[in-house]
């Protein structure tokens, strides 16, 4: 779990230190809340702030304790420590899908409604995509721009990649219960399944 938000300056300083010490791979994610301005206009800026707080909570519940996150307005920058492009794509796609599959109840004291919230993300990884922190941020921003241009609610790497996902099959009741638990815990279904696998390995390890 991410312990807290940090500042952009400290996050970039950490990136520069990791590059200097050659502590890779790692990735920078730039994530943007889709259509937050429209939500503010439809509801209120206070509900917009509630949505930002919800995103902070979801990121903290689904990222590793070594990862760092910072926020400016409706845009987040996340440092995924020890994670290359493929794993970073997988983790951010899990969060994107979790948001896309659910609505969340928000209230400003006068208005209360279930609101559909999505994010778009761009990912750049070191050392694959850039040699310094500034260039890495530029590449991540470019990937975010592509995600927005493709219709939003997407996660894009710095270049087109092909990913193969391993499928598993569950009963409808199991899927429904997992979905309800994920929403209640503010964690993605994949995160909960990985926790269950870790517990399973501990149970049967000798």
Shared domain check, 67 and 94: yes
Tell me what pLDDT residue 1 has: 41
Domain total in the chain: 2
Shared domain check, 179 and 128: no
Shared domain check, 134 and 175: no
Is residue 204 included in any domain, yes or no?
A: yes
Is residue 3 included in any domain, yes or no?
A: no
Shared domain check, 151 and 73: yes
Shared domain check, 146 and 77: yes
Question: Which CATH number belongs to the domain containing residue 173 in this structure?
Answer: 1.10.1220
Tell me what pLDDT residue 165 has: 52
Tell me what pLDDT residue 3 has: 45
Tell me if 62 sits within 8 A of 84, measured CB to CB. Answer: no
SS (HEC) of the chain: CCCCECCHHHHHHHHHHHHHCCCCCEEEEEEEECCHHHHHHHCCHHHHHHHHHHHHHHHHHHCCCCCEEEEECCEEEEEEECCCHHHHHHHHHHHHHHHHCCEEEEECCCCEEEEECCEEEEEEEECCCCCCHHHHHHHHHHHHHHHHHCCCCCEEECCCCCCCCCCCCCCHHHHHHHHHHHHHHCCCHHHHHHHHHHHHHHHHCC
Residue 35 — left, alpha, or beta (φ > 0 → left; ψ -120 to 50 → alpha)?
Answer: left
Shared domain check, 111 and 185: no
Q: Considering the entire predicted model, what is its pTM?
A: 0.78
Shared domain check, 142 and 107: yes
Shared domain check, 147 and 48: yes
Tell me what pLDDT residue 100 has: 95
Question: Which CATH number belongs to the domain containing residue 91 in this structure?
Answer: 3.30.70.270
Domain that holds residue 184: 166-206
Q: What is the mean pLDDT of each run of 10 residues along the chain (206 residues)?
A: 74 95 95 94 94 94 93 93 94 96 92 95 94 91 93 86 55 84 88 84 74
Shared domain check, 193 and 157: no
Tell me what pLDDT residue 199 has: 83
């Amino acid at each position: 779990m991410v312990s807290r938000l940090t500042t952009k300056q400290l996050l970039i300083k950490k990136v520069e230190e990791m590059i200097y010490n050659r502590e890779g791979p790692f990735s920078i994610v730039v994530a943007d809340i889709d259509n937050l301005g429209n939500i503010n206009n439809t509801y209120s800026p206070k509900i917009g702030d509630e949505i930002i707080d919800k995103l902070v909570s979801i990121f903290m519940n689904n990222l590793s304790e070594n990862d760092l996150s910072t926020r400016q307005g409706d845009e987040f920058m996340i440092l995924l420590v020890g994670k290359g492009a493929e794993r970073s794509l997988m983790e951010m796609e899990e969060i994107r899908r979790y948001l896309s599959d659910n609505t969340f109840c928000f209230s400003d004291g006068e208005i209360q409604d279930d609101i559909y919230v999505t994010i778009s993300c761009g990912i750049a990884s070191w050392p694959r995509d850039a040699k310094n922190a500034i260039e890495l941020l530029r590449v991540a921003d470019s990937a975010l721009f592509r995600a927005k241009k493709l219709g939003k609610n997407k996660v894009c790497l710095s270049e087109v990649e092909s990913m193969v996902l391993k499928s598993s099959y569950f009963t409808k009741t199991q899927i429904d219960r997992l979905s309800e638990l994920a929403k209640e815990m503010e964690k993605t279904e994949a995160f909960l399944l990985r926790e269950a696998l870790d517990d399973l390995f501990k149970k049967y390890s000798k």
